[in-house]
C-alpha cells in the first residue's frame, strides 16, 4: 500500500476512536439530525491520485465552504471591483456577527463571514435571475468536481430560510447602506441554496483542485482563475477561512482552509494536494473538531504546512512527504 494511503487510513482509525467529537450544529433541523460519529477524508494529489478513508463517499452539507466557490464565481463576473464592496481582513468575530457592520458602513470585513458571502450572492444576482444564479453555481461546482451527480439539498435550503433571522438582519442592514442592491429575499435565496449544496469529501477535494494547481483544473487543463487570483483566494482562506478560529487553524495546521458548519473543511497544500475532511461535531468557534485534528496530524506526518522550510532550488513541488517525495 502506498505511503499516503497508510497515513490517511491511520488518521481515520484514530478519529474513529476519538471520544471528544465536538457538538453538531443544531440551529438548522437537518444539520442537527446528523450523527457526530462520522469521519471522512479525501486527498487529491497533484498527480491526480485520490486517497480516501472513512466516510469519504457520504454526502454532507457543504455550508460555508461554498463561500470559496461563490467568491471565485463573483470575481469571474466583476473582477477586482468586488473589493469595493467587501474587505480582505480577518474579522476576529463569529461567522454570523453583525457588530462590525455599523462602524464599517455596511462593508463586511471579508467574503467568508456571512455578511461578506451575502454581498457576494448579491453580486451574482446582478448577472442572473435567482433561479439561474443557483443553476449556474451548481453547474460550476459539477464542472470543477467533474461530477454531474452533485445536488443542492432543498430541505436544507428551506431550513436555512426558516431559521435565517440573523442572515436576514445582516442583509437588511447592508441594504440600508446600499451594499445589498437587490430585495433581500432574492439575495438570501442565492446564499441559502449555495450553503445547502451536498457533496462528499471526494467530490469536494476534486472541486478544490484548481486552487492547488495555480488556478487550472488539472484534469481538463482549463484555467478557472489566473494564478494570481488562486494565490489570493488561498491567502483569504488562510487568514479568514475559519472566522475567529483562523489564527488557531493556521497555527495548528498551517494550510489555507475553509470550514463549514456542516463539519467539512477544504484545505489546500499548494502544488501538492487538495484535501477535504468531514466530521460533523464542531468546536466552540463552529469549525469541525476532528476535521481540524485530522488535518493537524496529516501535516505533522507529511510536512505539507506552507510554513515548512523548503530549499530554494527544490521548491514546494520537491517537498518531502513522510518518507518519500512528491514530484
Ligand atoms: O449562514 C448560515 O447560517 C449557514 N447556513 C452557513 C454558515 C456556516 O457554514 C458557518 N461556518 N462555519
Active-site annotation holds for 128: no
Q: Is the dihedral of CA 1, 299, 230, 118 positive or negative?
A: positive
Task: Answer whether 195 contacts ligand 1 (Cβ < 6 A).
Answer: yes
Domains and CATH numbers, the chain: 3-61+199-302 (3.40.710.10), 64-197 (3.40.710.10)
Distance 114 CA to ligand 1 centre (A): 7
Distance 66 CA to ligand 1 centre (A): 10
- Is residue 211 a contact partner of residue 274, using CB atoms and an 8 Å limit? yes
pLDDT of residue 314: 56
Active-site annotation holds for 191: yes
Active-site annotation holds for 173: no
Return the number of other C-beta atoms located less than 10 Å from residue 324's C-beta.
Answer: 10
Ligand 1 atom showing the smallest separation from residue 167 Cα: 1
Residue by residue, pLDDT tens for the chain (327 residues) are 799 999 999 999 999 999 999 999 999 999 999 999 999 999 999 999 999 999 999 999 999 999 999 999 999 999 999 999 999 999 999 889 999 999 999 999 999 999 999 999 999 999 899 999 999 999 999 999 999 999 999 999 999 999 999 999 999 999 999 999 999 999 999 999 999 999 999 999 999 999 999 999 999 999 999 999 999 999 999 999 999 999 999 999 999 999 999 999 999 999 999 999 999 999 999 999 999 999 999 999 999 999 999 766 655 544 544 443 443
Distance 221 CA to ligand 1 centre (A): 32
Task: Answer whether 286 contacts ligand 1 (Cβ < 6 A).
Answer: yes
Residue with cell 438548522: 28
Helix axes 165-176, 114-125, angle to 10 degrees: 60
Q: What is the grid cell recorded at 178?
A: 446600499
Question: Considering only CA atoms, which of 29, 198, 33, 27 is closest in space to residue 114?
Answer: 27
Return the number of other C-beta atoms located less than 10 Å from residue 63's C-beta.
Answer: 25
Exposed, middle or buried: residue 129 (CB in 10 Å: 0-12, 13-18, 19+)? Answer: exposed
Phi, psi dihedral angles at 263 (to 5 degrees)? 100, 5
Using alpha carbons, list the distances in angstroms from residue 176 to 26, 107, 125, 152, 173. Answer: 30, 11, 18, 30, 5
- Is residue 279 a contact partner of residue 291, using CB atoms and an 8 Å limit? yes
Question: Considering only CA atoms, which of 136, 266, 260, 154 is closest in space to residue 207?
Answer: 266
> What residues have CB less than 8 Å from 241, skipping those under 6 apart?
68, 112, 249, 256, 257, 258, 259
Determine the distance from the C-alpha atom of residue 142 to the mean position of all C-alpha atoms in its chain, rounded to a whole number: 15
pLDDT of residue 320: 47
* Nearest Cα residue to atom 4 of ligand 1: 63
Distance 65 CA to ligand 1 centre (A): 9
Rounded to whole angstroms, the Cα distance separating 94 from 242 reads 9
Question: Considering only CA atoms, which of 241, 255, 261 is closest in space to residue 298?
Answer: 255
Active-site annotation holds for 67: yes
Q: What is the grid cell recorded at 202?
A: 471526494
pLDDT of residue 325: 42
Task: Answer whether 110 contacts ligand 1 (Cβ < 6 A).
Answer: no
Active-site annotation holds for 61: no
Task: Answer whether 97 contacts ligand 1 (Cβ < 6 A).
Answer: no
Ligand 1 atom showing the smallest separation from residue 163 Cα: 3
Q: Buried b / exposed e across 277-292, counting CB within 10 Å, b at 16+?
A: bbbbbbbebbbbbbbb
Return the number of other C-beta atoms located less than 10 Å from residue 31's C-beta.
Answer: 23
Amino acid at each position: 500500500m502506498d505511503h499516503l494511503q497508510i497515513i490517511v487510513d491511520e488518521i481515520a482509525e484514530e478519529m474513529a476512536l476519538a471520544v471528544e467529537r465536538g457538538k453538531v450544529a443544531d440551529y438548522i433541523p437537518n444539520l442537527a439530525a446528523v450523527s457526530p460519529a462520522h469521519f471522512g477524508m479525501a486527498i487529491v494529489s497533484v498527480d491526480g491520485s485520490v486517497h480516501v478513508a472513512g466516510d469519504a463517499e457520504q454526502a454532507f452539507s457543504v455550508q460555508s465552504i461554498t463561500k470559496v466557490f461563490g467568491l471565485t464565481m463573483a470575481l469571474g463576473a466583476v473582477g477586482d471591483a468586488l473589493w469595493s464592496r467587501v474587505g480582505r481582513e480577518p474579522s476576529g468575530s463569529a461567522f454570523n456577527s453583525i457588530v462590525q457592520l455599523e462602524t464599517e458602513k455596511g462593508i463586511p470585513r471579508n467574503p467568508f463571514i456571512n455578511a461578506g458571502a451575502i454581498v457576494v450572492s448579491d453580486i451574482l444576482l446582478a448577472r442572473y435571475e435567482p433561479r439561474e444564479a443557483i443553476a449556474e453555481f451548481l453547474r460550476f461546482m459539477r464542472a470543477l468536481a467533474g461530477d454531474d451527480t452533485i445536488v443542492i439539498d432543498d430541505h436544507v435550503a428551506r431550513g436555512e430560510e426558516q431559521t435565517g433571522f440573523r442572515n436576514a438582519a445582516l442583509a437588511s442592514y447592508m441594504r440600508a447602506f446600499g451594499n445589498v442592491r437587490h430585495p433581500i429575499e432574492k439575495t438570501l435565496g442565492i446564499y441559502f441554496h449555495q450553503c445547502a449544496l451536498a457533496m462528499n469529501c471526494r467530490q469536494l477535494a476534486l472541486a478544490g483542485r484548481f486552487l492547488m494547481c495555480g488556478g487550472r483544473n488539472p484534469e481538463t487543463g482549463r484555467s478557472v482563475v489566473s494564478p494570481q487570483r488562486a494565490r489570493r483566494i488561498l491567502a483569504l482562506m488562510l487568514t479568514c477561512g475559519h472566522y475567529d478560529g483562523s489564527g488557531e487553524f493556521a497555527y495548528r495546521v498551517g494550510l489555507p482552509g475553509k470550514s463549514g458548519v456542516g463539519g467539512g473543511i477544504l484545505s489546500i497544500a499548494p502544488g501538492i494536494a487538495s484535501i477535504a475532511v468531514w466530521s460533523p461535531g464542531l468546536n466552540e468557534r463552529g469549525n469541525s473538531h476532528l476535521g481540524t485534528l485530522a488535518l493537524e496530524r496529516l501535516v505533522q506526518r507529511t510536512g505539507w504546512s506552507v510554513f515548512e522550510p523548503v530549499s530554494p532550488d527544490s521548491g514546494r513541488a520537491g517537498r518531502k512527504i513522510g518518507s518519500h517525495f512528491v514530484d
